[in-house]
Structure formats: C-alpha cells, structure tokens
C-alpha cells in the first residue's frame, strides 16, 4: 500500500513538471502582445506582500533569493473549472470570490478584471527586503523546454530560491484602500500553490486581509 502511494506521488510530481514545461513553452511560442507597465502603487502592494509572506520566513526556510517571472499572468490558468475541465466565466468566479470573501469590494474586483485584460511587464521596482531576480522566458526556456532535468536544472541556476513566482496585476478599490491580485508559486515536488490575495491599507501600510486558496500541489 505504501509503495502504491509513493508511486502515485512520483507520478503527480512528474506530471506537474511536464505541465510547467509545456506552459512555459507554449507561452514562449504564442504571439507576443504589447506589454503594459505596472504602476508604482502595484509595486508597493506586491512588495508589501513579499515582505510579509516570503522574506519574513526566509531564514526558517533557508531561502537566499526570490525568483519572479517578468510578465504578469493574464490568462485563464487559475480560473475555476467546470465539470468538463473548462475555465468558468470570470463573472461566475467573481461571484464565488465574493461569497468566500465578504470584505472584497465590487469596485476592487472590477478594477482587477480590467487591468488584467492584457499582461504587463515586471521590472526591478519591487522592495522585498532580500535578494530577488526578475527572469524572462529566454532564461526559462532552456530549462523547461529543452532541458530534461527540469527542476534540478532550475535550482542549479537559481540556488536557494523558493521556485518561480508569477503575479497578476493588482486591482484597487475605488477609494484606494483595498488591493486584490493573484499569485502562483511553482516549485519542485508537492509545494506549489496559487492564491488570490486581498490586502488592506492601514495607517499607510499594506497588510494581508485574506488569502483565498485556488490550487495546491
């Protein structure tokens, strides 16, 4: 029985690695659209989240650097799925989010949907209080598209990292006190996750208000 469980886990890890490889390869081969620029307010929110969520635990986890993809996620990878495995319309996902997060304002959701119509470029304007790298598909393709080592090759190039973080753009409430975004962290083994994050501006500082888990591996 234990042997079957271990075999099952190994198959899951292999499938996740293959999925990430195909995802990155397909993104690289898809037609490139003009990328917008992230706003200073978005960098402020993401920096606060990184300091609170990642760098605060870096010493305990032995992390030495954060690796972040240089393009925001504006596709349907993180949407809820119907019985046929197809992404549900954003309107239905928004309804589900409001049910699970009563404090989430409609104006915040509307802004999130609007700014994520197309991807934006992430530059070195984050302030996570520890070393970080912004990486491009040109750096990832040799690992996930052409290299058969996948994650071992990735960690050899980015030692001491948490894996690969991809952010969406950030939507803000009408009064600018609430922020909402999605992130995914892909990594070796069963440690990946994806969450929506609600942040609130309190005394001039952004703090995490609620996290809504969407996927975990």
pLDDT digits (tens, 9 = 90+) for 42-90: 999 999 999 998 877 776 777 889 999 999 986 555 555 666 666 667 7
Is pTM, for the whole model, over 0.75?
Answer: yes
CA 95 to chain centre: 21
Backbone angles phi, psi at 76, to 5 degrees: -105, 15
Specify the pLDDT at position 74: 65
Specify the pLDDT at position 113: 92
Contact 28, 113 (CB under 8 A): no
Instruction: Indicate whether 145 pLDDT > 60.
Output: yes
Rounded mean pLDDT, 87-99: 79
- Which tens digits make up the pLDDT trace of 103-138? 999 999 999 999 998 899 999 999 998 899 999 988
Q: Mean pLDDT in the chain?
A: 80
State how far the Cα of 94 lies from the Cα of 205, in Å rounded to an integer. 26
The more confidently predicted of residues 15 and 145 is 145
Whose tokens are 């996930």? That residue is 144
Contact 66, 128 (CB under 8 A): yes
Enumerate residues 6+ apart whose C-beta is below 8 A from 188: 13, 17, 150, 151, 152, 154, 155, 163
- Which tens digits make up the pLDDT trace of 192-211? 788 999 999 999 999 999 99
Boundaries of every domain in the chain: 2-30+38-216
């Amino acid at each position: 029985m234990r042997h079957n469980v271990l075999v099952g886990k190994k198959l899951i890890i292999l499938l996740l690695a293959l999925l990430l490889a195909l995802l990155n390869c397909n993104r690289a081969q898809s037609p490139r659209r003009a990328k917008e620029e992230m706003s200073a307010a978005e960098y402020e929110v993401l920096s606060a989240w990184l300091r609170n969520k990642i760098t605060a635990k870096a010493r305990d986890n032995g992390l030495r650097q954060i690796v972040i993809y240089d393009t925001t996620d504006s596709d349907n990878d993180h949407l809820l799925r119907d019985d046929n495995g197809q992404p549900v319309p954003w309107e239905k996902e928004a309804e589900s989010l409001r049910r699970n997060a009563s404090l989430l304002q409609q104006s915040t959701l509307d802004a999130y949907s609007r700014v994520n119509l197309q991807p934006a470029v992430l530059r070195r304007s984050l302030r996570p209080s520890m070393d970080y790298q912004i990486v491009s598909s040109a750096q990832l393709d040799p690992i996930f598209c052409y290299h058969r080592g996948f994650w071992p090759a990735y960690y050899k190039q980015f030692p001491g990292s948490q894996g690969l973080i991809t952010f969406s753009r950030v939507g803000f409430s009408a009064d600018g006190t609430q922020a909402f975004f999605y992130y995914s962290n892909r990594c070796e083994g069963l440690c990946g996750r994806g969450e929506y994050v609600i942040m609130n501006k309190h005394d001039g500082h952004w703090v995490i208000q609620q996290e809504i888990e969407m996927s975990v591996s």
